[in-house]
Amino acid sequence: MITVSEENIRKAASGDMTAFEEIYRASSRYVFSVAYRITGNSQDAEEVTQDVFVKVYRKLGTFAFKSAFSTWLYRIAINAAINLYRKKSKERGRNLPFDDGIDSKKFSGENETLREMEKKESETLVRSMLESLTEGQRACVVLKDIEGLKYEEVATALGINLNTVRSRLSRAREKLTSLYGKGGRKL
């Protein structure tokens, strides 16, 4: 979980770059993780992460401390990731993204190679299953089930009603369960 002091936020909002760098170090991995789960692509997740911190830098002075900083940050990250995902989806013509391929150097016959391949296969499966969800469902699953936020925090981060979060999660889990049954594979 992200832990950033109120004092550090106030310093960064007033232009203290050292304080802003501390905020970045404390939260950039979480932003990247959320962005990656939404976009399904590390390059897109990096782009989203950069975009998010540019927005945070510009808007940090508007943070009113009415919610947790992490909730505010997640909302910016989710919105940026969804926007980029929509843009890229139009460009791709709604095709599922393909893996960049397997690095032929890793085929050395060692057990490590097998573990790497299994890990990539699992990541690809999770990514494709998340792709099958609507944007709203995906955002809820990422924040609740992957990032571990509470229902209330998810609702605040996405700016939606608590019951909407529960409904989206229920529908998403039903869909993922049906996909799991069809694919005969475990996440």
Domain residue limits, the chain: 6-183
Q: Are 51 and 1 in contact (CB under 8 A)?
A: no
Give me 46's structure tokens: 């990096």
**Residue 27 C-beta-side C-alpha neighbours within 13 Å:** 27
pLDDT score, position 25: 93
Residue carrying the six token digits 């999660």: 169
pLDDT score, position 157: 85
pLDDT score, position 177: 83
Which architecture characterizes domain 6-183 according to CATH? Answer: Orthogonal Bundle (1.10)
pLDDT score, position 131: 83
pLDDT score, position 70: 87
pTM for the model? 0.61
Q: Are 131 and 162 in contact (CB under 8 A)?
A: no
pLDDT score, position 101: 43
Q: Identify the segments of the chain with pLDDT beneath 50.
A: 94-110, 184-187
pLDDT score, position 168: 93
pLDDT score, position 106: 42
Q: Are 49 and 28 in contact (CB under 8 A)?
A: yes
| DSSP string over 42-61 | HHHHHHHHHHHHHHHHHHGG
Residue type, 63: F
**Residue 65 C-beta-side C-alpha neighbours within 13 Å:** 9
Dist CA 71 CA 65 (whole Å): 10
Question: What is residue 67's three-state secondary structure?
Answer: coil
Dist CA 151 CA 149 (whole Å): 7
Dist CA 138 CA 89 (whole Å): 15
